[in-house]
Amino acid sequence: SSGRSTGVNNGENSEGPDAKNLRVKLVLLGDSGVGKSCIVLRFVRGQFDPTSKVTVGASFLSQTIALQESTTVKFEIWDTAGQERYAALAPLYYRGAGVAVIVYDITSPESFAKAQYWVKELQKHGSPGILMALVGNKADLQEKREVQVQDGIDYAEKNGMFFIETSAKTADNINQLFEEIAKRLPWPSSSS
């Protein structure tokens, strides 16, 4: 398949000459407990269920969204499944990834520091063209906030990342996160 360098692929055209089915591998990074699994479950199944630790990490969950008319994007989402400490060193985890979503918890400065660590690891070891998104999750917990919105914005801007605050609990900005990623990916142009 083409697109090995960017991790972004043109799929089969099964719905007519103008239909495009794009797909991309997305890896999740961030401290344990920041809500990575909950974000994926909210996006893929439309529910918030903190008790069901799914086996996302065994392979991946996928979800397809519409990007434009007759263009769809299939996200192949890889979660660390509790292997946060080793994820950055696992070549299989990153191989072919077009997107890395780095998640922290807005009530935890430690998780924000850890997110910055993951960004540096990706800048060192990730594929050069990888799109990075910084996500401040648990935005519903405003009264417990310890990481300011502006801190997320500033860090993301400095590192050329997309930034958004989400809540897997209320579903706030979850779909927007994936839609904005889909729009920003360097899809191969179809010059046919």
Q: How far apart are CA 111 and CA 161, in angstroms?
A: 17
* 65: number of Cβ within 10 Å: 15
Q: Taking the complex as a whole, how short is the minimal distance between the CB of residue 138 and ligand GDP, in angstroms?
A: 4
CB 27 within 8 A of CB 102: no
Q: How far apart are CA 177 and CA 192, in angstroms?
A: 30
Exactly one of 6, 9, 37, 108 binds ligand GDP (CB under 6 A); which one?
Answer: 37
Exactly one of 4, 15, 18, 32 binds ligand GDP (CB under 6 A); which one?
Answer: 32
Using CA atoms in the order 94, 97, 135, 104, what is the torsion angle rounded to 10 degrees?
-10
Q: Taking the complex as a whole, how short is the minimal distance between the CB of residue 39 and ligand GDP, in angstroms?
A: 7
Q: Taking the complex as a whole, how short is the minimal distance between the CB of residue 81 and ligand GDP, in angstroms?
A: 8
Q: How far apart are CA 169 and CA 138, in angstroms?
A: 7
Exactly one of 35, 96, 98, 152 binds ligand GDP (CB under 6 A); which one?
Answer: 35
Q: Three-state SS for 11?
A: coil
Q: How far apart are CA 105 and CA 135, in angstroms?
A: 8
Does residue 50 bind ligand GDP (CB under 6 A)? yes
Does residue 114 bind ligand GDP (CB under 6 A)? no
Question: With respect to ligand GDP, which residue has the nearer C-beta, 104 or 187?
Answer: 104
Question: With respect to ligand GDP, which residue has the nearer C-beta, 25 or 138?
Answer: 138
Q: How far apart are CA 161 and CA 103, in angstroms?
A: 12
Does residue 109 bind ligand GDP (CB under 6 A)? no
Residue 184 has which token pair?
């920003």
Question: With respect to ligand GDP, which residue has the nearer C-beta, 54 or 153?
Answer: 54
Q: Taking the complex as a whole, how short is the minimal distance between the CB of residue 174 and ligand GDP, in angstroms?
A: 9
Question: With respect to ligand GDP, which residue has the nearer C-beta, 38 or 99?
Answer: 38
Question: With respect to ligand GDP, which residue has the nearer C-beta, 6 or 80?
Answer: 80
Q: How far apart are CA 162 and CA 175, in angstroms?
A: 14
Q: Which residues in this chain contact ligand GDP in the complex, by CB under 6 A?
A: 30, 32-38, 50, 137-138, 140-141, 167-169
